[in-house]
Structure 1
Amino acid sequence: MTFAVLNDMFSARNLASVILISSVLYAPSGMAQEQPATGATAPANAGAQQNSATAPAGQTPAGQQQPAQQARVQKFDDWYYRCVDGKAADGSATTSCEVAQIATVKQGEQDVNILTLAIAKAPVPAPALPKKESKKVQSDLVLTTLVPLNMYLPAGLSIDASDKPVVQLAYRNCNQAGCWSQQKLDAKMVAALSKAADGVGHVQMMNGQKVNIKFSLKGLAAALDALQKPASN
């Protein structure tokens, strides 16, 4: 049995006050399949004010919360380019940016996230590479996705652009926010996504049902151009 495509009920979400989705999985790859979220508040209510991070238990007094970190957001059709200022481990100022879109479906009067897509630059490894190689490394892009729980994990998530397969992602871990995957995009993948007008994500649920999730690729090329430029305040 296959679900009907849900594209008529999708809408882009306001991503102004949510932690960068792509930053959640920038961690060692040996994560357990099931684990509590320790680095970020789940983006399930993307339009609401949320904390930029959740402190580990015992480090923050009960009831005390850090103010929500407001992202600088620019919209490119159906995609959002957003940046958040922060600090590196050595205390120096850093700016993290990504382009993102959240596809939702109406359940009653509530919007429910069914597919979150975020593309960001891959972190530059240390020590820094020579100039000839560093430019290539910094241009690498990583796609991070989030889908609801109860997915059949071995099937993974596949993404088409203009009805052609582009990228296959394996689920990396699941927590209360949903199931996450992350994949580095090569030049062909980026070109295919940038040139297409629409895309489809294919997932399979635990009960065997296959779901085709349509999303827009309109504006992605312009958003990626902005991402590749130095961030400005």
Structure 2
Amino acid sequence: MRRTERLSLSVAAEAVVEPKRYGDWELVCKPQAASATPKAESGACRLQQAQAVNGGKDVVFLFNIARQGKQRVAIISTPLNVYLPAGLELKIDDGQTQRVIFETCNISGCHAGFALSGALLGALRKGNVLTVALKDTKATTIPLKVSLNGISAGIDALDAATP
């Protein structure tokens, strides 16, 4: 059994419009309520990439990008039973490693959120692979490879969908 198969992440099901694919990323939007104003629906879309095991049944990693007003934010969700003090290490291609901290854990997993702008955003748009390293409760490093294929077009579509 691969190490990632021992980790599982609960993903809540919600009503969404058919996701649009951008390379290895999906733009997922909630249906707009008939009475909702465009501002009320701001943030109703997210660009995401999930990694799953067991034939896609168990999500073990989820990377979401959303808009909060004019700012882009990223939320990385991992299963429970990770070593929280280590946080997550992000590395795009052969670039420098950046550390992000876990902000919270709940029944659906542990979550690290951060602003997505500047050099980090530029590197994601130009990069090929993002390596996200987390540690399990035995402090063993588990590297996860995230394809950046389609992320630039997906971010542009997210920006257009959430003015």
Q: TM-score, normalised by structure 1?
A: 0.59
Q: Indicate the SS of the match to 2:30.
A: strand
Q: Which residue of 2 aligns with 1:43?
A: 11
- Deviation, structure 1 residue 226: 0.7
Distance in 1 between the 2:97 and 2:126 partners?
12
Q: Which residue of 2 aligns with 1:208?
A: 139
Select which of 134, 142, 150 maps to 1:219: 150
Distance in 2 between the 1:175 and 1:214 partners?
24
Q: Which residue of 2 aligns with 1:61?
A: none
Distance in 2 between the 1:175 and 1:79 partners?
25
Distance in 1 between the 2:85 and 2:32 partners?
36
| Runs (5+) with no aligned partner, structure 1 | 10-41, 45-49, 53-68, 125-137
1:5–1:212 Cα contact (<8 Å) kept: no
Q: Which residue of 1 aligns with 2:24?
A: 78
Distance in 1 between the 2:154 and 2:45 partners?
11
After superposition, residues 135-174 of structure 1 pair within 5 angstroms as 138=70, 140-165=71-96, 167-174=98-105
| Runs (5+) with no aligned partner, structure 2 | none
Distance in 2 between the 1:165 and 1:79 partners?
23
Select which of 57, 62, 67 maps to 1:116: 62
Q: Which has the larger radius of gyration?
A: 1
Q: Which residue of 2 aligns with 1:100?
A: 48
TM-align CA RMSD: 2.6
Distance in 1 between the 2:153 and 2:45 partners?
14
CA change 1:104–1:196 in 2 (3 A) is: same
How many residues of Structure 1 are paired with residues of Structure 2 in the alignment? 153
Distance in 1 between the 2:62 and 2:161 partners?
24
Distance in 2 between the 1:144 and 1:220 partners?
15
CA change 1:215–1:5 in 2 (3 A) is: farther
Q: Percent identity?
A: 24
- Deviation, structure 1 residue 5: 9.3
- Structure 2 residue 119 is matched with structure 1 residue 188: yes
The residue identity in structure 1 corresponding to 2:87 is G
